[in-house]
Structure 1
Amino acid sequence: MEPSASGVGEPAIPAQRAALGPGQVLVTGDVVRDRVLDTAKLDARAHAQRQVHYVTRRRRETHVVQGVPLHEVLAEMPPRLDERHKMGQLNIIVLALSEDGFQVVLSLAEIDPEFGACAALLATRYNGRALTRPTLVMPGDGRASRYVRGLCRLRLLNIAPSEALADPELRSTVR
């Protein structure tokens, strides 16, 4: 607990965050500091172009998307890692949330070029058309079910085992 103005150990009240603008994405959670991404600024550096193929309930579709690799964006705001765990980045998940409430969970290792090397992309253009908010595109997926259109938030969460499970004595009793 942090001391309040009265000096008593009351929890600090977080500052209220301004509402996101229509072209913004909030990156929050277990990161060094929250960040707001602007879609127009992402589009200015959207060097990756991919042709994606996927199946919907009704038909097969092919689209050309352009954007920034998700791993490249997240590397600019490293997560807070639990130093007690070897390879702490393997305990980080990324929750991608759309403005309509749809959400998808990825692991940070899944999109890291040194591990899963998934080509997840924050697409700012779809078939040449600029998007108001990015779409999380998973080019390797055969279905578009993990595509998050109208992306408004990326939340990184450290899901490292609790302190009790990190204790070698207790770990042997959990198995």
Structure 2
Amino acid sequence: MKRVAPGQVLVTGDVVGERVIDTADLDARANAGRDVSYVTRYRREVHRVRGVALHEVLTELRPRWDERHKMGQLNVVVLAVSEDGFQVALSLAEIDPEFGACAALLATRYNGAVLARPTLVMPCDGRASRYVRSLSRLCLFNVAPWEVLSRSRAISPST
């Protein structure tokens, strides 16, 4: 796997070719800011962020899904990994405007400050637990439907 320099995010896995995204390039195309609010253990916080929709970025990179299955994109998992190893898994469907419509954002600015690496912001969450600061990698995985898994492992759904 490629190593990425500070200020870059590697996109790998089930995409058409690995890609490195520069935070500065994301920031240049970031749309209008938005306020996000969430609850921590101690208080309610509101922050102003600016960035690019995660779904938009991933669509441009052309995720691969199993074309043999109806709505194959519903079987894609996105793993977001920070530079310190913190990771969060999301489904591609939950961030797709046609399905879950969670407006996940790759924020390049937080309260006006330019970030060295983007922060994955989940504005639909009431907590910031799935926010991934200093994002260094996005990995897409195509998850096989149950019947494929059960045949390959010779097990049934009841076991």
Cα deviation 1:91-139 (Å, max 9, x = unaligned)? 0000000001110010000000110110100000000100000000011
Q: Which runs of 5+ in 2 are unaligned?
A: none
Query: Partner letter of residue 158 of structure 1?
Result: N
In the alignment, does 2:135 pair up with 1:151?
A: yes
| Contact 2:37–2:123 under 8 Å retained in 1 | yes
Partner of 2:12: 28
Pairwise mapping of residues 55-66 of structure 1 onto structure 2 (< 5 A)? Answer: 55-66=39-50
Query: Partner letter of residue 89 of structure 1?
Result: Q
Partner of 1:93: 77
Runs of 4+ in 1 over 3 A off after TM superposition: 162-167
Q: How many residues align?
A: 156
Deviation at 1:164, TM superposition (A): 3.9
Deviation at 1:79, TM superposition (A): 1.4
Q: Secondary structure at the match of 1:21?
A: coil
| Contact 1:63–1:126 under 8 Å retained in 2 | yes
Pairwise mapping of residues 84-163 of structure 1 onto structure 2 (< 5 A)? Answer: 84-161=68-145
Query: Structure 1 length as normaliser, TM-score?
Result: 0.83
Deviation at 1:163, TM superposition (A): 6.8
Percent sequence identity is 72
The higher radius of gyration belongs to 1
Deviation at 1:161, TM superposition (A): 2.3
Cα deviation 1:35-94 (Å, max 9, x = unaligned)? 000000000000042101111112111100000000110011111111221100000000
Partner of 1:53: 37
Q: Which runs of 5+ in 1 are unaligned?
A: 1-15
